[in-house]
Amino acid sequence: MPAKSLRISLLVILVLLTSAYTDSSGVAAAEETINFAALAVDGPYEIRAYSSFPEVTEFGDATIYYPLATEAAIGGVAIAPGFTESQRHINWWGPRLASHGYAVLVLNTNEVRESPSLRGDALIAAVRLLKAENSRSASPLNGRIDVNKMAIMGHSMGGGGTLIAANNHSDEIQAAIPFTPWQPDGVFDQIAVPTLVIAGSNDSIAAVDAHAWPHYQSIPSSTPSVYMEIEGGNHFLANSNGPDLGTVSRYGIAWLKLYLDGDERYREFIFGDSQKIDAAKFSRYITNP
Ligand code: 9J3
């Protein structure tokens, strides 16, 4: 083949390859590497955020983080802060999860001292808002959300709210991740969605023996669940500026990949041998099944 035709052929192939990974926004969609360590840092997707959407009565200001371009519709995650906290205390999760392919709503509660129960109401309202963004024509997420892939998360009283909302609304969500949850006498025996409880053995505000551990034990055995207790971890281990967010991130994202997206390649990171590399970090790592 003459050099010129070869160059043209290569150019055509290059254009075809590039177009295969470009969506309607004209931005190349990235690809996730299936690798546990890759979940400790930001993922392949370029992200954006916005905070202007129809208001709801159940929470105050909020920010939605999302990946700019993805090949398929994406899951949604709503996240609530704890007592006296606001978005900034937990918003590291927003860009992190969005960069791995999720639409993430981080909210301010109406009142910083409101109960876990009201935080649960806020989370369910946020899930409904994310689903509605899929059909709001002016939304950057119009047509981009898979409304059957929704998760809720929260810190402390927001973690209590996560458990309460999962207990009462398992029909509206697919996964729950409370971190260092706080709810005295919390019994969550109606939770039917896979739940990852993230706890710290040195939590002096929501001591695990009175909070995260009995919460976990109350979840029905028919529901997939994991209790992950970080040795020496305190009440703020999964908040912005936590000491080992890479570890928290790996398990949180693997949970979403497995139970929101149904991507079985991530099961190994939660339930298989890969998980054993972290044995020294955990005072307890209990799985069901
Ligand atoms: O959300 C939380 O950090 C709960 C902290 C707490 O002990 O509240 C007591 C009223």
pLDDT at 20 over 90: no
Tokens representing residue 245 in the block:
């967010």
At 153-193, the pLDDT tens digits run 999 999 999 999 999 999 999 999 999 999 999 999 999 99
Distance from the alpha carbon of residue 156 to the mean position of ligand 1, in angstroms: 6
DSSP letter assigned to residue 52: -
Rg (CA), the chain: 20
pLDDT at 25 over 50: no
* Euclidean distance between CA atoms 189 and 177, whole angstroms: 16
* Euclidean distance between CA atoms 197 and 287, whole angstroms: 10
Tokens representing residue 31 in the block:
């690809």
* Identity of the residue numbered 109: T
**H-only helix segments in 30-169:** 87-90, 93-98, 116-133, 157-168
Q: Mean pLDDT, to the nearest integer, of 1-24?
A: 40
Distance from the alpha carbon of residue 205 to the mean position of ligand 1, in angstroms: 7
Give the torsion sign (CA, 226, 232, 236, 239).
negative
Which residues have C-beta atoms less than 6 Å from ligand 1? 82-83, 156-157, 182, 205
At 112-141, the pLDDT tens digits run 999 999 999 999 999 999 999 999 999 999
At 202-258, the pLDDT tens digits run 999 999 999 999 999 999 999 999 999 999 999 999 999 999 999 999 999 999 999
At 67-89, the pLDDT tens digits run 999 999 999 999 999 999 999 99
- In the block, tokens 């860009």 appear at 95
What pTM does this model have?
0.91
Q: How many other CB atoms sit within 10 Å of the CB of residue 144?
A: 19
User: What was the pLDDT predicted at 32?
Assistant: 86
Residue numbers annotated as active site: 156, 203, 235
Return the residue whose CA atom lies nearest to atom 9 of ligand 1. 83
Work out which ligand 1 atom sits closest to the CA atom of 206. 7
Return the residue whose CA atom lies nearest to atom 7 of ligand 1. 205
Tokens representing residue 102 in the block:
């999720």
* CATH architecture of the domain with range 36-288: 3-Layer(aba) Sandwich (3.40)
Tokens representing residue 40 in the block:
């400790």
Domain spans in the chain, listed from the N-terminal domain onward: 36-288
